Amino acid sequence: MYSFINQKNNFLTILCSLFLCAAILMSGCSKDTNQLVNENDKKLTLIFNLKTGSLDPHNSEVALKAGVVETLVRLDDNLEVKPWLATKWEATDGRTWVFTIRDGVTFQDGTTLDAAAVKASFERGIAVSKLLAGVLKSASIEASGQQLTIITKQPHPSLPSELVSPYASIISVEAEKKMGTAAFNMAPVGTGPFKITKFTPNIDILLDRYDGYWDGKAKLSQVNFKFNEDGNVRALALQSKEADVVYQIPPETVAAIQKDNQLRVDSIASLRVHFLLFNHQQPLLQDVRVRKALDLLINRQSIAKDIMLGYATPANGPFNPNLPFGNKDAIKPLNTAEAKKLLEEAGFKAGSNGKLEKDGRPLTFQMLTYKGRPELPLIAQLLQSDAAKIGVDLQIKMVENIDTYLRENKDWDLVTYSNLTAPRGDGGYFLNSAFLPGGSLNASNINSSKLNEIVARLNVTGDISRRVKISQEAAAVINEEVLHSYAVYPNLIVAMNKRVVGWKPSAAEYYVISNKVDVK
């Protein structure tokens, strides 16, 4: 009897042990499965401050920012040009550049990247974008295996740095042929770590990880790249935890966000300047005395202190003084008396109502602004107030898409505007695009013979120290002729949830989503 019971107990003990082992194994399998699911369910929501209706990489920067496309070269944190889709390059003479295209790279449709694909991308871009045509200045492009040869129309020593431009992004022309241009511009195919699954114009882009990415599979599985031009809405979305990263929050929201121990704010000196863009096609603004008067109505100190709350510094020219080629001149103070004197020299006198007029017509300007950068409408209002004190009427008009409006309309006088002026660590980009006739940023048809000659010299100069001096010479002429009026150098203010790791904002503002971004 005892033997039977003992055997029975041993059997039960063994059976229990087997069940326990099975439970442990199942638990272990379940844990591994959950970890796998978590790795494939890492999502991030980012809200950007400017919207777009198209993702055509040769006419929009957004596809590069979203990690969909890449360029041959890129800027590192020190604003130095480094290899990306090209591993090396050399100039064999003043006009001939040879780039070696990286091996082992595929587009998101699985096709291989080679020099022929890069050539096709550039040729497609030149046909649809004067922005890229201005970057390349190419006379011919040839491809052989992984070797791409670009012969420029004239000596172009800054070509490698110019290829940092988002408009020089490499896309699959073969994919565009299959999809059709309209569909392709809604979902371009590039070599980046994320591919587009859905794009709702001006609303958002849904991105999925591209597992075949050449530089290592992205840590995130999905990204929702949203657009919202209302700074307060962006800030509230972060505070309510509906968004993980929000770009360019209003300075007045920073303190509230910093009180939340789950959130943080990064503020870095940018390569951007906020300024007044004058329409040089308007006869009145062709008078330098009028431009100088408006320049003297900008209260730079108040903009930096009261509007930007210290997240900006007063500007004295197109380039930040921290740059080697930045301006060293003193900051111009607000001077309403001198502004009025200049306008009187231009023929304007105070009427019976105190407003300045000429030939019975009041001095009135239409000033455009936009919400994408929340401080710009406030700058417009401050300028309007100071101008009114001397009898100048500035009528503010809010527009939706400022760049489209400037391209399609000529009925404006001034714009509170913002641009990266040294996004590639060099002044050549801004000087060429914003001031030369036909330049991609020259919506007001600026044409200064003195500046044109200086920029022409810059464009054939490769020596860095000489380029610095020529850029300074150009900036002096811009200030002398008041081709633009520069207000402040703003900080880039980005707020995020602390669960976001492996990411920080870039002063160049080109690189937002990458394969390194992760969430806890």
**Residue 1 pLDDT grade (very low, low, confident, very high; cuts 50, 70, 90):** very low
| 438, two tokens | 């036909």
Two tokens at 349?
């006198």
Segment 38-54 mean pLDDT: 91
Task: Say if residue 284 is in the same domain as residue 399.
Answer: yes
8 A C-beta contact, residue 179 and residue 188:
no
Residue 371 in domain: yes
Q: Which residues contact 340 (CB under 8 A, 6 or more apart)?
A: 293, 356, 390, 391
Token digits for 88?
A: 């090396």
Inter-CA distances, 189 with 57, 62, 130, 181, 255, Å: 10, 13, 21, 12, 40
Nearest alpha carbon to residue 297 among 268, 330, 326, 334 = 334
Residue 41 in domain: no
CA dihedral for 414, 417, 423, 425, sign (positive or negative) = positive
Domain count, the chain: 3
For residues 279 and 187, membership in a common domain is answered with no
Distance CA(293)–CA(385), nearest Å, equals 15
In tens, the pLDDT along 153-177 reads 999 998 998 899 999 999 999 999 9
Q: Kindly compute the dihedral angle of the four CA atoms of residues 405, 409, 413, 416, in this order, to the nearest 10 degrees.
A: 10
Give the pair of three-digit tokens for residue 508: 């160049």
Helix ranges, 389-447 (H): 402-408, 428-435
CA–CA distance, 12 with 415 (Å, rounded to integer): 86
Confidence of residue 69 (pLDDT cuts 50, 70, 90): very high
Are 244 and 329 within one domain? no
Report the pLDDT value the prediction gives residue 25, as an integer from 0 to 100.
39
Same domain for 282 and 251:
no
Identify the pLDDT of residue 252. Answer: 94
Same domain, 427 and 398: yes
Q: Is residue 31 part of a domain?
A: no
Residues 430, 283 share a domain: yes
CATH number at residue 421: 3.10.105.10
What is the side-by-side strand order in the sheet with 96-101? 86-91, 96-101, 147-152, 138-144
327 with 314, same domain: the answer is yes
Percent of the chain scoring above 70 in pLDDT: 92
Instruction: Establish if 8 belongs to a structural domain.
Output: no
Residues 164 and 208 grouped into a single domain: no
3-state secondary structure of 1: coil
Q: For the purposes of burial, counting CB atoms within 10 Å of the CB of 36, is it exposed (0-12), middle (13-18) or buried (19 or more)?
A: exposed
pLDDT of residue 235: 97
Q: Please state whether beta strands 500-501 and 518-519 pair in parallel, antiparallel, or not at all (unpaired).
A: antiparallel
- Could you tell me the two tokens for 458? 């810059």
**pLDDT in the model for residue 125:** 96
Our measurement of the distance from residue 484's CA atom to the centroid of its chain's CA atoms, rounded to an integer in Å, reads 20
The DSSP call for residue 303 is: I
- Where in the sequence is the domain holding 505, given as residue range(s)? 179-269+493-519
Q: Which of 141, 176, 211 is the last residue of a domain?
A: 176
Pick from 86-90, 336-340, 369-373, 387-391: least confident? 369-373
User: 242, 45 in Cβ contact below 8 A?
Assistant: yes
Give dist(CA 424, CA 506) in Å, integer. 12
Strands of 245-388 (E only): list them. Answer: 245-247, 263-269, 272-278, 312-314, 349-350, 356-358, 361-362, 364-369
Residue 252: inside a domain: yes
Q: Which of 149, 176, 203 is the last residue of a domain?
A: 176
What CA–CA distance (Å, rounded) separates 146 from 104?
11
Both 476 and 504 in a single domain?
no
- Single-letter residue type at 446: I
Is residue 161 domain-shared with residue 253, that is, in the same domain? no
Contact of 327 with 475, CB cutoff 8 Å: yes
CB atoms under 10 Å from CB of 89, counted, come to 18
Q: How much is the pLDDT for 17?
A: 44
Any domain includes 434: yes
pLDDT at 21 over 60: no
Q: What values do phi and psi take at 34, rounded to 5?
A: -65, -40
Average pLDDT, the chain: 91
Q: Which of 127, 155, 176 is the last residue of a domain?
A: 176
What's CA 427's distance to the chain center, in Å?
16
Q: What share of the chain is helix, strand, coil (3-state, %, to 5)?
A: 35, 25, 40
At 243-300, the pLDDT tens digits run 999 999 999 999 999 999 999 999 998 899 999 999 999 999 999 999 999 999 999 9
What is the CATH number for 237?
Answer: 3.40.190.10
Q: Crossing angle for the helix pair 464-481 and 428-435, nearest 10 degrees?
A: 40
Picking from 78, 74, 397, 311, the residue whose alpha carbon sits closest to that of residue 215 is: 74
CA distance 53 to 199: 9
**204-227 pLDDT per residue, tens:** 999 999 999 999 999 999 999 999
Summarised one tens digit per residue, pLDDT across range 292-322 is 999 999 999 999 999 999 999 999 999 999 8
* Cα torsion through 471, 477, 478, 483, rounded to 10: -150
118 and 151 share one domain? yes
Express each pLDDT in 135-159 by its tens digit. Answer: 899 999 999 999 999 999 999 998 9
Q: Is residue 94 part of a domain?
A: yes
- Cβ neighbourhood burial of 435 (10 Å; 0-12, 13-18, 19+): buried
Residue 143 located in a structural domain? yes
pLDDT by residue (tens digit) across 433-475?
Answer: 899 998 888 989 999 999 999 999 999 998 889 999 999 999 9
Is there a single domain that holds both residue 238 and residue 280?
no
**Model confidence, pTM:** 0.84
